[in-house]
Amino acid sequence: MMLAVLGGKPIVPENSFYTWPNVTGAEVKSLVEKFRSLSFSNYKLDSDVTIFEKKFNEYIGSKYCLTLNSGTAAIYSALLACDLKSSDNVVIPAYSFFSAATAVLNVGAKVKFCDVDLETFNINPENLNEQIDENTKAVILVHIFGNPCDMDQIYECTKNKNIILVEDACQAHGATYKGKKAGNLGDIAAFSFHISKNLPIAEGGAITTNNLRLRDKAAKANMFPNYIQDKYTNLGHNFKFNGLFAAVGIERLKNIEIYNQRRQENRDYLVDKLKIFDFIVPQKITEEAVSSNTMFVFRIDHTKLGISDSLVDSRNRFMLALHHEGIHCGVWLDKTVPEMEWFKQESSLYPKAKILTESTIYISGIHYPNSKLQMNLIIKAIEKIANNCDELKKIK
């Protein structure tokens, strides 16, 4: 059977997958009702924002929640709460979204990068221990693709060192480590409500913490300058969340566990059925962790695929073929953060992170209401490519 990328018929019919997010009638109703109720008199102190913060706080299990207008604003505000100086450094994983690194620069501190674990894709505790020095004031723990970091080892690395643990939980809504939710594992956490996330509210973000001092310091970044007794007390930013998003968020929180469970079921099914393909290496979720499975992510082992001596070439050819068969897939990160223009570091310093940028593929269709019906289409597409591996060499 000829591969679609070479002119054959795609194995997946068009419109076979449901898109994300799933939109309910209750969500539409809440949005319309909220829009009709908005006025200048109630916009600034919107009761739905307070209600959403309370409900999200209860869901995470933290004491305090502060909503903002994006996940990036949440990371930035969380770092501002750490009172970082120009001589301080913050350790972040080399394989992560760049906003964590730029947030460190924006608060005036220095970035130190840490390599990652090739199996979990998360920050490597052994390498983290090597990067910590007397100027390290915080570590950003990115729960990559919703997979919680190895918190016990991280606690061991940072104990008695006055290091603030900042969770980048932007992909980890509902993920748990030893039964405790992401967002309640470190000192302060940042979430995103971008349309691609497990709790999609079009846009928005939040901070969760059990530390009132950190909460209050982060809140100062969220407000316009406070004018008290004829003096401005802080610079402030316009990071405020809004009632429209809060109204949708209140409704979407009701279904997040149902939706996360479907992602888990779909991921488990794929992992089990794809075992027969030794060139596919899924992201590892440890026994202590439950991932929120933002996407299904796997590495290509080019030595097993056998179409090219180049890792990145093998990945790209396979991914292109998968895309043409009708599967929504892609590369989440094509270079490590240290390689980016702001840092210009050699990728050889972070070899495992570099391997991930050259070998990983994500598939985004594991969300609700997609089921085994759609997962079988993914499996059939991969099987078709695997049965015609030599044809991949013809892709130009």
Does residue 54 sit in the same domain as residue 149?
yes
Residue 108 in tokens? 């005036």
Q: Do residues 260 and 249 share a domain?
A: no
- Averaged pLDDT for residues 268-277: 98
Same domain, 116 and 243: yes
Report which of 96, 1, 119, 18 is spatially closest to residue 328, judged by C-alpha positions: 18
CATH code assigned at 87: 3.40.640.10
Same domain, 12 and 80: no
Same domain? 382 vs 286: yes
Q: Are residues 267 and 243 in the same domain?
A: no
Query: Mean pLDDT in the chain?
Result: 94
Residue in 174, 172, 179, 180 with CA at minimum distance from that of residue 140: 172
Buried b (16+ CB within 10 A) or exposed e, 231-250: eeeeeebebbbbbbbbbbbb
Decide which of 196, 218, 253 is a domain's last residue.
253
Q: How far is Cα 221 from Cα 73, in angstroms, rounded to an integer? A: 9
Mean pLDDT value across residues 113-136 = 97
Q: What is the model's pLDDT at position 238?
A: 80
pLDDT average, residue stretch 335-344: 93
pLDDT tens column, 202-223: 899 999 999 999 999 998 877 6
User: How do residues 149-179 score in pLDDT, each as one tens digit?
Assistant: 999 999 999 999 999 999 999 999 999 999 9
Domain final position from 209, 227, 253: 253
pLDDT at position 227 over 50: no
Instruction: Identify whether residues 84 and 30 lie together within a single domain.
Output: yes
> Which residue range forms the structural domain that includes residue 212?
25-253
Q: What is the pLDDT of residue 257?
A: 98
Quote the pLDDT of residue 284: 98
Residues 17 and 135 in one domain: no
Question: Does one domain contain both 231 and 269?
Answer: no
Neighbouring C-alpha atoms within 13 Å toward the C-beta of 230: 0
**H/E element holding 78?**
helix 71-80
Question: Which pLDDT score is estimated for 235?
Answer: 67
Instruction: Tell whether 328 and 356 lie within a shared domain.
Output: yes
In this prediction the pTM is: 0.95
- Give the count of beta carbons closer than 10 Å to the beta carbon of residue 210: 14
CATH of the domain at 288: 3.90.1150.10
How far, in Å, are 35, 236, 300, 308, 396 from residue 393 at the CA level?
54, 55, 16, 8, 8
Return the pLDDT at 232: 56
Domain tally, the chain? 2
Give yes or no: residues 322 and 354 share one domain: yes
Contact 190, 205 (CB under 8 A): yes
pLDDT at 331 over 80: yes
**336 and 359 inside one domain:** yes
Final residue before a domain boundary, out of 213, 228, 253: 253
Q: What is the pLDDT of residue 324?
A: 98
Query: Helices 212-222 and 71-80: crossing angle, nearest 10°?
Result: 120
| pLDDT computed for residue 223 by the predictor | 63
